[in-house]
Amino acid sequence: MFDPSHVQPIAGATGDSILPQSIADAIAPLTWLAGGLYVLAVAALALYGLHSLWLLALFLRHRKGAKAQAEREAATPLPPDAELPHVLVQLPVFNERDVVVRVLDSISRLDWPKDRLHIQLLDDSTDDSVEIGRKAVAKLRTTGIDAVSIHRTDRTGYKAGALENGMQVCDAPFIAIFDADFTPNPDFLRIAIKPLLADPGLALVQGRWEHLNRDDNILTQAQAVGIDGHFAVEQGARGWSGLPMNFNGTCGLWRRTAITDAGGWEHDTLTEDMDLSYRAQLVGWRCTYRIGLGVPGEVPADVNAWRSQQFRWAKGSIQTAIKLLPRIWRGPWSLHAKVCSSLHMTHYLVHPLILLSLFCAPLALLLVGTGVIPWFVLLLGVFSFAVGASAPILVYIVSQLTLHGSKGWRNLRSLPILAAIGTGIAISNGQAVWQAVRGQQSAFVRTPKAGASGTGSYRAKAHSGIPEAFCAIWAIVGMTVGFIGAHTWITPLLAIYLSGFAWMSIHCIRERRARAAKMVRPVVEATDDVAAQPA
């Protein structure tokens, strides 16, 4: 333990005081508090980095076995068509006029006996997409496909409520779920059903997201690399090593009895997918993942749409953690599974930790200038930064080389942008985490999609970018204090924060001005702070 009374005048590299003695004495308690919080923040960030490295190690350990398993499944024939089980395909949509026809068209091409395939368009829309969807469903019915449009005027439960409502209409033993912006390949069901038929204890087969609009702009390129890291490495590590894993809300095939055994769909969190999959595993079911089961889908094409999506994921994940972690830690899972599940569910805590480390850094540097900080504390800070920064980079590199071979190096050019947006989103996601911790409920706001036109009919609410600009300025303050005190070891960390918040601020301001020039109308779709609005 360190005694704050030992604090000396705040000094620079030469030992000369940076601040007058009176000011140094006055801020000494605040400086010590900031120093302690900074150490805790970077140590916690390093813990999440170590978790990423552990998942990477598990992925590398099990990937050959997973490949061999996939080859065995591919060589195993399915039963004759007349003996295949009935499958329900659920398509939850809400004001998806730009993509609803496309997703129905792709579902109609699924290679499955028509007399055993049932399609539900679960439509909670409030715009003309209701009629667009009905016409597309009617067209499918003329081809002999059992397709229905189920329109709810009461949006209770949002997506979870729509899925639960659809299950009451059809009793098919297997249920595939696709969001409106995904276009599964015709062989999806024939690949996904094999593990479920072979293993009666398996609840879910999760597919991998691919990207329809990867090359639209630098934001979509960066997102694609980030999503690949999750689906190639993290989901593979969890699914192949027996760790609890989550359903990603789309591109998965469920066993109906697993859903009912888990208590069905619940809508007290914004990530009903993570909630259900963990509850299913808590009652004894298992989930798995197939890296070869790729499903193309859209990623948000503008910053505000991406912020909207991330807000929902961040808030919902923490809500699910608060809901289920006590049950997990009381349960029979191994310590390994409990720790990994905890780090998985609370991963979005990295964003408030980023903010905490940013705001404490300048004051912590003043404390370093006193000369009373032991060397091992500085070493801990450097080590924590190295782990926190290098772990995701290694995950992204391995994911790109695994999915794309040597061509994956080209995709890694977007890593600086990915680092920037991953930092710049900290304020929005930090707000989401805070709302979840407080128990503040909010609407399920779907992510606007561009569709085939590339523009889309809706836009996410535009943000000012001013808070991010303030964070960028504060990072400059920290770097300045570091240079004055000759503590340049912290410069790389603050440079990442500076670039991330500056990038986010500039792009928010740019999108806001572009939208104002087009005279976009006010928000009409929802009242949440990340609501979508018509273009």
Please list the active-site residues: 124, 273
Among candidate residues 327, 381, 195, 205, the one with its CA nearest the CA of residue 277:
205
Do 228 and 410 contact (CB within 8 A), yes or no? no
Q: Which residues pair with 208 in a beta bridge?
A: 294
Query: Do 219 and 503 form a contact (C-beta atoms < 8 A)?
Result: no
Q: How far apart are CA 183 and CA 204, in angstroms?
A: 19
- Structure tokens of 485? 């005190």
Other C-beta atoms lying within 10 Å of the C-beta of residue 214: 19
349 token code pair:
């805590």
CA distance 392 to 253: 29
Q: Rounded to whole angstroms, how far apart are CA atoms 132 and 146?
A: 18
Task: Give the span between the Cα atoms of 523 and 535, in whole angstroms.
Answer: 10
10 Å Cβ neighbour count for 369?
Answer: 27
Q: Is 26 helix (H, G, I), strand (E, B) or coil?
A: helix
Measured CA to CA, the distance from residue 10 to residue 32 in angstroms comes to 12
Distance CA 7, CA 369 (A): 10
Both tokens of 105, joined, read 């068209």
Residue 311 · residue 431 · CB < 8 Å: yes
150 forms bridges with which residues in the sheet? 122
